[in-house]
Amino acid sequence: MEFGRYLSVIVTPFHEDLTINYEEMLRIANRMIDGGVEGLIVGATGGESATLTLAERVQLTKFMKETVGSRVPVIVGTGTNNTAASIETTKAIEEAGADGILLVSPYYNKPSQEGLYRHFKAIAESTSLPVFLYNVPGRTGVNLTPATIARLAQVQNIYGMKDASGNMDQLTQLLRTVPEHFRVYTGDDNLAIPALSIGVYGLISVAAQVAPAPICQMMQAFREKDLSKAAQMHKDLFPLLDVLFIASNPVPVKVALNLMGYRAGGVRLPLTMPSKAQAEAIAQVLVQQGLSESAEVPEELFV
């Protein structure tokens, strides 16, 4: 199965009582797909996977497959820092109908490269679904090296990976190391054009939740070899790409979506909404980008 070159995570919207707002999730998803997003990553770290129950992840998977699964692939985050729990989650998500899974590197316990290899291999071998690895050392405290990824690329159903290391040297080495069939996506919106220029397959975006069409147009310009247009769009979008990481993801995205009129709701503890200054910075950029008409921030969007 091919998953496209322009994928995006999607937040998990909550009602005021922090139960999942499925209606609003569908509304956000449809806008993203209409804007060019080719696949959605559901219930992953950007969807607050750490505070979702397994039952909630299963229900999210079924809901998204039923509502948008005929339009785009639905990839679900099932990785944790517990291999056995990740296998259990993966099996439940496969049964729920997912098209693929995303496995974040184990966090906090800082396994060795051999431990990482065995962790991912064991989960991949427990499922028939395509597997995306996810390396984000700034959040997990451990880096998945190109050599280990090259070993994992030999596992039959490990399809590719999302690299959010922010390290262009490592990304270049990774592209030199992995086999041609292995799909490398950058997970850093601010590095999309530089990463595409050295050969990554595509983008797994965060900002696509806020500005799906402009990012799609930027990537299209690059594919059509209109590099000056792609570079200019990258520079124009940069303030948005930057401010969406002013606090821990997905907090800024939820603030932005709320300001744009979507009922994305708040976040579950231990996350909180950002400071007033951070929320105001997000609001100002949205106005500058033409995504919102007012820079005023309601009190419920900051702490």
- Residue found under tokens 């590719």: 160
Q: How far apart are CA 295 and CA 297, in angstroms?
A: 6
Instruction: Assign 2 a pLDDT band (cuts: 50, 70, 90).
Output: confident
pLDDT at 257: 98
Q: How far is CA 275 from CA 243, 255, 291, in A?
A: 13, 11, 21
68-106 tens-digit pLDDT: 999 999 999 999 999 999 999 999 999 999 999 999 999
Positions marked catalytic: 134, 162
For the cut 90, the answer to whether the pLDDT of residue 208 exceeds it is yes
24-71 tens-digit pLDDT: 999 999 999 999 999 999 999 999 999 999 999 999 999 999 999 999
- Burial of 284: CB neighbours in 10 Å, binned 0-12, 13-18, 19+: middle
What percent of the chain is modeled with pLDDT above 90?
A: 99
Tell me phi and psi for residue 150, to 5 degrees. -60, -40
Kindly provide the b/e burial profile for residues 220-250, where b requires at least 16 CB atoms within 10 angstroms of the residue's own CB.
bbbeeeeeeebbebbeebeebbebbbbbebb
Mean pLDDT of the region 152-175: 97
What percent of the chain is modeled with pLDDT above 70?
A: 100
Strand partners, 6: 203
Domains of the chain: 6-227 (3.20.20.70)
- Reduced to 3 states (helix: H, G, I; strand: E, B; else coil), residue 155 is coil
Instruction: Assign 185 a pLDDT band (cuts: 50, 70, 90).
Output: very high
| Tokens of residue 174, six digits | 């990774």
Instruction: Assign 286 a pLDDT band (cuts: 50, 70, 90).
Output: very high
Tell me what the pLDDT averaged over the chain comes to. Answer: 97
Q: Other C-beta atoms within 10 Å of 112: how many?
A: 10
pTM for this predicted structure: 0.97
pLDDT at 1: 81
pLDDT at 219: 98
Q: How far apart are the two ends of the chain, measured CA to CA in Å? A: 44
Q: Hey, what's the torsion of the CAs at 163, 166, 171, 172, to 10 degrees?
A: 160
- Reduced to 3 states (helix: H, G, I; strand: E, B; else coil), residue 254 is helix
